Structure formats: C-alpha cells, structure tokens
Structure 1
Amino acid sequence: MDSNLKQSDDNKFIPMTSISSGKGWQVRPDVYYYTNQIVNFVIIGSREHWVLVDAGMPKCADEILDLARSLFGEGARPKAIILTHGHFDHVGSLVGLLEAWDVPVYAHLYEFPFLTGKQAYPEPDTTVEGGMLAKISSIYPHEPINISGANLQVLPEDGTVPELPDWHWVFTPGHSPGQIALFREKDRTLISADAVITVKQDSFYKVLMQTQEIQGPPRYLTTDWTAAWESVKKLAALNPDLIIPGHGKYMAGEELRQGLQKLVQEFDTIAIPKHGKFVDGHEKPAS
C-alpha cells in the first residue's frame, strides 16, 4: 500500500446529520445504499464480488468498514472503489478505507487534480441564495486529498465501469469538473451523484428531515451552472426507473420521471440561485 496516502489538510468531522443517517436500503437485489450523516454511498454486488461507490463523510471509515463486515462478513473488501467526484463528503473517509483495503480507485481524469493533492476546489459559496447549510458552508473541507499512488486509476474512456460489466459511467460535470453518474440499462438504475439529488441540500430542516423533492446540485459547491443543466438533461434522457442520489432518499417510477422532467424544464428557477459568486455576472443558461 502507498504510504503517501493523505486526507486533505482541512479534513475534519462535520457535525451534521439527518433522520436517515446510519440506515441502509436494498433497492435492487444487488444494489444497496447507506446514508452516512447527510450523504449516500452505494454498494453494488454480492459477498463474492462487490464495488463501493464513493467513500462518505470525513472521519467515518470505521463506520463504513463495520457496515461492510455486517453485510459480507469478516475480511470483506470491495474489488474497487468508484468515485463520482472528489468533494469532501464523497471522499471523506477514503484514505482510512484504503489503509484497510488497498484496492484500486477509479475516477474521471478531470477529478485527478483534486485527488492527487495538486489543486483545491473553490471554497464553498456562503453568499449564494439558499438556506442555513449554504450560509455555514465555509466549514466544509475543500482542500484536495492525495491518493496519487498505485491506487488511483482513470475510468476507461469507453464508458465501461471496472468490475461492473452491466454498468456504464456518464459524464455529468457542473457540480465538479469531472463528476460522473452510473447507469445500468437492464433495470434503468441510476446513481446520480450530485448532478440530481432528492433533497434541497442548502436547507437545514429539509436535510435533517430528508424532505423528498427532485433538485439540482447543491448550490454552494456548484461552479458551472450551464454544464450542470446539460448534465441534468443527459440523465433525464436515460429515462431512469430508479435513482440513488448523492443526497436524499431514493426515488422511483412515475414520481421520478415527472420530477426529472420538471427539473429539466425549470432548472433556472428550481436549481440556479438568483445570486452567488458562481452566478453573478454570468447569464443564466438558455433552456
């Protein structure tokens, strides 16, 4: 294992939770997701062969390791970890997991600067229109982690997903430069990361209670709203039957389809804030 693995310099426990924290849902026979405080990570597969999608909040590696043991037994380890992107709540426990597992990590090339210690994400925008969680977002880590050793690998250009032959990855930038979603055609299952979520992530009350509604990406960390809208259109065009978002509860069926259609049509009013440093001075994208 590479001894140079390093969490971000500003990595710290974030005192934030929801009524779903510590709970998991088996939404397909081989797809399980778990809410770690306010973010979801996904486990795909079975005891013999499974993959972890994302790595949860900071300081939660032991919780994730305990969950893996409870699901698959002592010595359980994934074949790989797939990262949808490198924000703190999706890689917060990654180094701790790699110290225990030493497995390959796959991500989009555009996320590599934030995963190899070379570049920090922009600081969260506390000026953005939104609720309390937007106003206190300055406490969220934004410095890069460093897993630049043998663990980190680039996702295949052809859209295939290592260790998951039935899935393909979809490029969904906007919230971060190299964000991806995962989609399985045979049962139309979508892991949407933060491109589409099902809770208004800047509202403290709605996050705490996990109030379900189709939303665009978290406002305080989204830097390219034109790309974010295009990513929503791309995911809606897949016509998913079930979605597991990065934040919020899973959603399925007609409620999901109608919600996605509305988000595509009204993205400028539902998702894009009226003001903020990544909005001010820029024209809102045309629908």
Structure 2
Amino acid sequence: MVNRTVGARRTVTSDAPMISTVTTPVTSGVHHVEGQAAGWTILTDGAPRRGAAWTLVDAGYPGYAAAVRGSAEALGLRLADLAAVLVTHGHVDHVGGVAELVGGRDVPVLTGEAEVAHLHGEVTENTGPRDLLPRLHRHGMLPWVVHVSRHGATAHPRLPAAGGAPDGVPLDLPGRPVPLTTPGHTSGHTCWHLPDAGALITGDALVTGHALSRDTGPQVLPGFFHADRAGMLASLDLIGDSGAGTLLPGHGAPWHGPAAEAAEQAARTAQSHL
C-alpha cells in the first residue's frame, strides 16, 4: 500500500515556473519533497530551524533548483548552511540542480564509489531521444517530455569535484546517511539508508509513481530507463534486506511499510513495466 499520510503533507508552489512541490515530514529530521517530475530529501539533526546544518539528497532537474531551495527555506533552512549534497545517481533529474545550489561554495558532493565516474562525466548511462521518440504515443509521455525539456532534461551536467562514499559506512552529516550500492538503474546507483529514521532513500531503484505509469505504489521505472535491467531487479533484494520501514523514492510519494514487502511488490510490476 502507499501511505500518503506519513506526516502532514504541505504543497508549496515555488518561484520556478510550473513547478509545485509536496513536502512530507517522515520524522522531525527527515523531509521528503515530491516535485512534479523528480523528488529530493532534506535531512537535519532534529527539527529544522534557522542556522541548522542540513543535508540534501538529490537535486532535481536544472530548472528545479529554485524549487529545491524554496522547499528548504519553507522549513526555515538556509542555503548557506547546506552541509553536503548526496546523490543517488548521475541522471540529470537528480543532479541537475546541484551546481546552482552549491554556487561555488565548498560544499561536498558525494555519491557511492561506483557512481563517481558517472558524475564526473567519464561514463554516460542516460536515456535519450532515440529511447523516447518511438514511445511518444504512450501514456503520459508527451506532456512529461514537454515538462522535463522545459526544465533542462537535455543537459548533461558534470560534477568533477564529486567524491565517493564507501558502501555501508555512515557519514558524519545531518541525518547520518549510509550508502547502499544498488546497481542496475545505473552501474553505481546508490540508495541512502537512514537507520535512525528507519528509512531508505531509494532514488530510481524503486519508485512509487511516475508520469509514465498508471500505477501507484512500489514499482520499477519503464525498462528503457535502466542501464542493466537484470541488475536493477537483483538490487530490489538489497532494498528488501535493508530492514527499512519507510521508503523515500526519487519519483512518487513516500511508502510506509516493510521494505521487503515493497521490494516484492515492485518486482511483480516489472513484468508489465519492463
């Protein structure tokens, strides 16, 4: 089941054109933000307050930077207090806003060790026009393509200063995130485990909704989005074994329930989605 009442959900319209966001407090220090075509998570130690350090996980499309900033400011946080940006993977809808949000300041940008080359631009595992054009007739495809194109989907941002975090080692950052490598969507796709909150940020390894899907609840993205479909399916077992009780996806709303149950449900959707 999808639990859309993990916390009080608040809709915020940012000053970025045509972007609205829904913020869900998972715990006092974990806030999931669902944008129209991509989501992100804000981590603090305790309740957010002005002057508190915070961690951002993923940053949307390039055109979403103002919406990301607005969602943090709505919680009382300041961009000047951003401690680090963590990234699940190097696709434009997850790293596009990073450069503008960091703004040349000495803010660490980290991903899993196996995904660093993707962020540096040394490898490319992206969906392109040849994947999308033959599918323009499919459910939701045309309006989704128009929206994401307006917000920078054709960009190929590189983050040459990004570093790698070793798997399973907690980071000394707000939220105490722990990287969990879940390859398949990209070669080094990395979920971020939040043991203190009982939550797992799943990026695109497992989602709960997408403009191209008629379904809600745990599922996988359409097959053409994945670099390695078999690897992606295998990584669902890693998500299931995490023990998390709340999943925070890169697309869709938070899901509350055993991670193993979510992984099983997502695996069942794979036959129709792949």
Structure 2 unaligned residues grouped into runs of 5+: 1-16
Does 2:163 align with 1:153? Answer: yes
Q: Who is 1:79 aligned against?
A: 83
Choose which of 89, 112, 116 in structure 1 pairs with 2:116: 112
CA distance in 2, matches of 1:244, 1:160: 18
The percent of aligned pairs where both chains have the same amino acid is 24
The answer to whether the aligner puts 1:220 opposite 2:220 as a matched pair is no
Do structure 1's residue 191 and structure 2's residue 201 form an aligned pair? yes
Question: How far apart in 2 are the matches of 1:249 and 1:228?
Answer: 20
- Contact kept? 2:219, 2:265, Cα under 8 Å: no
Q: 1:155 & 1:41 partners in 2: Cα distance? A: 19
Asked if the contact 1:80–1:103 (Cα under 8 Å) also holds between the matched residues in 2, the reply is yes
2:271 matched residue in structure 1: 269
Query: Partner amino acid for 1:220?
Result: F
RMSD: 3.1
TM-score, normalised via structure 2 length: 0.77
Worse overlay, 213-222 or 124-133:
124-133
Q: Which has the larger radius of gyration?
A: 1
Structure 1 residues 104, 80: closer, same or farther in 2, change over 3 A? same
Distance 1:59 1:93, change over 3 A: same
Q: What does residue 44 of structure 1 align with?
A: 43
TM-fit CA distance, 1:75: 5.6
Q: 1:252 to 1:165 in 2, by over 3 A?
A: closer
Q: Distance in 2 between matches of 1:123 and 1:248?
A: 19
Would you say how many aligned residue pairs link Structure 1 and Structure 2? 246
Distance 1:170 1:157, change over 3 A: closer
Residue of structure 2 in register with 1:26 after alignment = 25
State how far apart, in whole Å, the 2-side matches of 1:232 and 1:134 are: 29
Among candidates 136, 156, 161, match of residue 144 of structure 1: 156
Distance (Å, rounded) in 1 between the aligned partners of 2:163 and 2:217: 34
**Residues 134, 219 of structure 1: 8 Å contact kept:** no
Separation in 2 of the partners of 1:69 and 1:38? 20
- Offset, 1:185: 2.9
CA change 1:114–1:135 in 2 (3 A) is: farther
Structure 1-normalised TM-score?
0.73
Amino acid at match of 1:245: P
5+ unaligned residues in a row in structure 1: which ranges? 1-14, 274-287
Task: State the partner residue of 2:257.
Answer: 253
- Relative to structure 2, which stretch is displaced further, 161-170 or 34-43? 161-170
Cα pair 1:43 1:51 within 8 Å, conserved:
yes
Distance 1:40 1:78 in 2: 18
Aligned to 1:26, the other structure's residue is in SS state strand
